[in-house]
Chain A
Amino acid sequence: MKLNERSLAFYATCDSPADNSGFLYKRGERHTAYHRRWFVLKGNMLFYFEERDSREPVGVIVLEGCNVELCDSAENFAFAIRFGGSKSRTYVLAAESQAAMESWVKSLSRASFDYMRLVVRELEKQLQEMSRGLAGGCGGSQDAPGLWKPKPSGLEQSRERLPALPAILPKENGCAVWNNALGADRPPDTSGCAGHMDEEGTPRPPPLPPRRRVSNGEAARAVAESPSTFCRLHEQYSREVARLRQDWQQRRRGPQP
């Protein structure tokens, strides 16, 4: 299968910061020797180089639909990246210390695009709930309009308008009180959906990085999302900036104070 290798190599070697990097031993394909390689994790791509200063990666592992687990091996500090599917390979790697192994297992298990998307959606939802709560007054016992002052509108009235000043939400507000602790070892929710709000408005934590096997349906999904809150907020802020700039320019042109 063709791949835009130059773009991949560029991504691997450009100066955008890596999410993790270091030497790891990689077991050869035919269960032979381990080779020491320089690994660079960026986003959901795990690149490996022959040497730390090599110009191009030797290979890349795309970290979608995989499980990262510790494994029994003669080699110390070994862990595996396991993919589902009959033809898929398991990559066995070994770190040079316990700390390095733990750091890699942690960063690799959170590396998938799917996981990132899950967290983003969860935060997006939280923000929407908060905005709605502030605009309409939260359903709880405390009604605190005096705690924050919405900016006099140059901005359009929109249901999602955020207050210009940082708001301190009343503690009883279900949106502001988080009492869920997500332990790192919890068994995952394999439904793959983000956390839901229950009746009282206390959100359940989203599932951990999915440990599911790759299913055929997943791979064949085309994504076409409608404009996100992020884009709307971005637009809002740029309108605000444009208006402020205009004000400032008008003041400059006006009579001297």
Chain B
Amino acid sequence: MSSSNSIHSSAMKFAVKAWSNGRARAGVLHLDCCPTPIDTPSLLLSTRKGLPLFISPDLLPSLPSPDSHLLHVSPLHFLEGLSMTTISKIGGLHQMLGLHEYGFAAVPRDSIQCLPEANSTNKVGASFETPCGRLLIKPAEYMEMISSLRPELWATLADEVPAWVSDKRNKTSVDRTIKWLDECIALSPTGGAVFGAIVGGSSLEERQRCAQEVARRNVSGHCSFVDMR
């Protein structure tokens, strides 16, 4: 994730500490919930329904701290078996998972099971292949999930496409992503830091166009989606 020099939102503060000769930079991320600031570049731990896949929550403190305090959460995981009403009733991610000193970054897709299905995405919503079948997620639905889960950071809904799509389809993905960016921002709950999604495939032009549009909105950070296939 990338950002400008210093950003403040109610849950998150970010500042760049140092630059390399090139464009790399070291920064520090402050989250209200985390007792210690987190150095960036930083790796998010992947989770399944909010808990790390490989270690139980009581053993999580045995991992290096604070480096292991940022968790990636996919809101789509919770569509299987837990209603948003129940999650709200419980009080959101921190209450539900018993992880109070950990920061959650919500991004719709994960790297293994909830993958964007570009052929089924349409102007109404983004499609994902998930363990409970193919789901079409509209911005309003997505924002309902974000409001219930209350993560520290969250990415806006994107139309992610693979590198081999036509130029036309690639351009459409940028148009949709910007439209959904605005819809998500309009519905954003108080307290979370918004990360604007940046798509554009391997077209430098489209990437720039998307980034410029996102930069114009009042977001706390950017979330770039890169096709690794």
A binds B: no
Chain B positions within 8 Å of A, measured between CB atoms, are: none
User: Which A positions have Cβ atoms within 8 angstroms of B?
Assistant: none
